[in-house]
């Protein structure tokens, strides 16, 4: 991993995750996230890596105009934002020259990944013991 200023992964400065590996594996199973999804997320990297600014412009344009008037995204918006973030990514994935079924598998992998990420991000919003 590159040495990124301010990034302290793997050091004692980073607190222990409240989500165990077992918890995360159960979350992946609930989302039907598999090794195939990892494969298609990796495939999508070659497509999105040169389009990051364009993708972020779309996301920030929509999300910024809808909900981000505060530093913290309100809990009510966390899961709702999965749709515009993933739906607006599909046209970019289609620009990679892959077959339609591969684009669909990349898209599905992104949806599952976003669901998992937002579920993890929601932890601070949930009452102790209810996560």
pLDDT digits (tens, 9 = 90+) for 62-115: 777 766 566 677 888 888 889 988 999 999 999 999 999 999 999 999 999 999
Does residue 38 lie within any of the structural domains? yes
The number of domains in the chain is: 1
Residue with tokens 């973030």: 85
CA atoms within 13 A on the CB side of 54: 12
Does residue 3 lie within any of the structural domains? no
Does residue 83 lie within any of the structural domains? yes
pLDDT in tens, 14-29: 778 889 999 999 999 9
Does residue 63 lie within any of the structural domains? yes
CA atoms within 13 A on the CB side of 2: 3
CATH number at residue 84: 1.10.490.10
Residue-range definition of the domain harbouring residue 42: 21-125
Distance of CA 59 to the CA centre of its chain: 13
| pLDDT > 90? residue 125 | no
| Measured CA angle at 45 (ends 41, 50), to 5 deg | 155
């Amino acid at each position: 991993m590159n040495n990124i200023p301010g990034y302290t992964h793997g050091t004692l400065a980073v607190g222990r995750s409240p989500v165990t590996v077992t918890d995360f594996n159960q979350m992946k199973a609930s989302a039907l996230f598999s090794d195939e999804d990892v494969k298609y997320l990796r495939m999508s990297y070659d497509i999105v890596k040169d389009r990051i600014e364009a993708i972020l412009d779309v996301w920030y344009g929509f999300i910024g105009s809808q909900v981000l008037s505060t530093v913290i995204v309100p809990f009510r918006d966390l899961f709702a934002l999965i749709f515009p973030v993933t739906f607006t990514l599909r046209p970019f994935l289609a620009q990679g020259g892959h077959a339609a079924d591969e684009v669909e598998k990349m898209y599905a992998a992104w949806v599952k990944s976003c669901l998992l990420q937002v579920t993890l991000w929601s932890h601070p919003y949930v009452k102790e013991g209810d996560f």
